[in-house]
Amino acid sequence: MTAPLLATALLLGACGSSTPTPGASPPPSSNAPTVATPVAAVPPARDPVTGVGTVIQVPGGTPELCLGPVRESYPPQCEGVPLVGWSWAEHPAEQTTVTDGPSTSWGSYAVTGTFDGLTLTVSGAVPLALYDAVAPPSPRPMSPSELPADRWAQVEAGVRLLPGLLTSTREDDTGPVHADVVHDDGTLQSWADASFGVGAVRVTSMLRTR
pLDDT mean across residues, the chain: 83
Query: Can you tell me the mean pLDDT for 57-86?
Result: 95
pLDDT (0 to 100) of residue 148: 87
Query: Can you tell me the mean pLDDT for 108-129?
Result: 97
DSSP annotation string for 151-192? HHHHHHHHHTTSTTEEEEE-GGG-SPEEEEES--SSHHHHHH
pLDDT (0 to 100) of residue 194: 94
pLDDT tens digits for range 36-53: 898 999 999 999 999 999
pLDDT (0 to 100) of residue 143: 54
The domain made up of 149-208 has a fold known as GMP Synthetase; Chain A, domain 3 (3.30.300)
CA 60/CA 3 separation, integer angstroms: 80
Checking phi first, is residue 18 left (phi over 0); if not, alpha (psi -120 to 50) or beta?
alpha
Query: Can you tell me the mean pLDDT for 172-179?
Result: 87
pLDDT tens digits for range 130-159: 998 766 665 655 555 678 888 999 999 999
